[in-house]
């Protein structure tokens, strides 16, 4: 039997992070330049449940049965077994690799889950559709992120730009003009659950103030959607920068992220903001073709340890739901 492989892209949030946890809309786009990949190879001579996992990026080379119940990969398999109603797994080797930075706000954990579920479910002869993969990935994310909105599993599973409101079916976005974003990694690692938890504490202490901020972010997100779909796209940058200011007020930026945002703007980016949970991870900047080189250089000079470029293309073909 030939090896079965599957992959899933990284993601970035264009606008609306944090507010999306409280019911406001957010926009996310896939970042296809980085991918998680899972390859399953049958082991016909192995005993039942003998699953050998090799994930060099996290220094993992072990059998599934040896992993703690709380290990994300163990949780993923437990959910998969329940979902498919299997009493046991046949023996196989699973190799997981990823070029998505870990804990950098690009959805590395969700992308690994999606790639593994795709490859393993196909190998088992029960290929899951996107809806099943997204909801199972959401379940696993919930078990260690507490209150995820569901935006990460959705954009990564469907690999298309989305307008997302928690608990509602997502909408696919169709931009009228191509847009190019630079994503710059601050090199600072930050845990989404911690930052989301801190925002929750602050919201509990001062709900009116925080709900006003969430609402303002949601309003910006709707404005960005309108400009993406109908133009003028030149106005999008200003909304993104305004979104960064609101994220600063939420308390989720950091000196490193602010430095990157300011450097991108000073070098001619149309707009810039932190993306994802904040405190670390990445910023994104909307950059015209003519400013690409100068903004890239300015971001490196301001401390970016990695740069990724991603494009939002005008039309996006519908894929299987």
Catalytic residue among 61, 93, 152, 301: 152
Closest to ligand PMV by CB, 7 or 108? 108
| The one among 7, 9, 10, 17 contacting ligand PMV by CB under 6 A | 17
Smallest gap, in angstroms, from Cβ of residue 280 to ligand PMV? 9
Looking at the DSSP bridge assignments, the partners of residue 11 are 30
Q: Can 152 be counted among the known catalytic residues?
A: yes
> Contacts with ligand PMV in 247-306 (CB under 6 A)?
276-277
152 binds ligand PMV (CB under 6 A): yes
| The one among 25, 30, 101, 148 contacting ligand PMV by CB under 6 A | 148
Is residue 107 a contact partner of residue 156, using CB atoms and an 8 Å limit?
Answer: yes
**From start to end of the chain, where are the E strands?**
4-15, 26-42, 51-55, 60-63, 92-98, 162-164, 171-172, 179-185, 271-275, 282-286, 306-312
Stretch that binds ligand PMV, among 147-155, 213-221, 237-245, 310-318 (CB under 6 A): 147-155
Determine the residue with CB nearest ligand PMV. Answer: 276
> Contacts with ligand PMV in 163-202 (CB under 6 A)?
192, 196
Stretch that binds ligand PMV, among 17-25, 179-187, 233-241, 306-314 (CB under 6 A): 17-25
In three-state secondary structure terms, 162 is strand
Q: Which residues bind ligand PMV (CB under 6 A)?
A: 13, 17-18, 20-21, 105, 107, 148-149, 151-152, 192, 196, 276-277
Which sequence positions are flagged as catalytic?
152
């Amino acid at each position: 039997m030939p090896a079965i492989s599957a992959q899933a892209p990284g993601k970035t949030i264009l606008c609306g992070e944090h507010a999306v946890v409280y019911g406001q809309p957010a926009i996310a786009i896939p970042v296809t330049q980085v991918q998680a990949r899972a390859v399953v190879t049958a082991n016909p001579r192995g005993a039942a449940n003998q699953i050998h996992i090799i994930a060099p990026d996290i220094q993992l080379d072990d059998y599934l049965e040896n992993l703690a119940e709380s290990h994300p990969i163990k949780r993923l398999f437990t959910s998969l077994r329940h979902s498919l109603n299997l009493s046991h797994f046949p023996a196989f080797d699973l190799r997981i690799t990823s070029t998505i930075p870990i804990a950098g706000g690009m959805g590395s954990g969700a992308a690994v889950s999606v790639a593994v579920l795709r490859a393993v479910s196909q190998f088992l002869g029960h290929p899951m559709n996107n809806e099943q993969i997204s909801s199972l990935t959401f379940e696993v994310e919930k078990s260690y992120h507490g209150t995820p909105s569901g935006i990460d599993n959705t954009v990564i599973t469907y690999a298309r730009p989305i307008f997302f409101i928690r608990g509602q079916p997502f909408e696919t976005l169709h931009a009228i003009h191509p847009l190019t974003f630079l994503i710059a990694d601050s090199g600072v690692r930050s845990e989404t659950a911690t930052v989301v938890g801190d925002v929750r504490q602050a919201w509990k202490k001062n709900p009116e103030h925080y709900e006003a901020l969430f609402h303002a972010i949601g309003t910006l997100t709707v404005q960005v959607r309108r400009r993406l779909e109908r133009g003028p796209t030149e106005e999008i940058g200003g909304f993104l920068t305004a979104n960064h200011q609101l994220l600063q007020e939420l308390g989720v930026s950091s000196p490193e992220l602010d430095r990157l945002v300011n450097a991108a703007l000073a070098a001619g980016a149309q707009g810039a903001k932190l993306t994802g949970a904040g405190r670390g991870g990445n910023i994104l900047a909307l950059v015209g073709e003519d400013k690409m080189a100068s903004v890239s250089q300015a971001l490196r000079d301001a401390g970016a340890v990695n740069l990724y470029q991603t494009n939002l293309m005008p039309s996006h073909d519908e894929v299987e739901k």
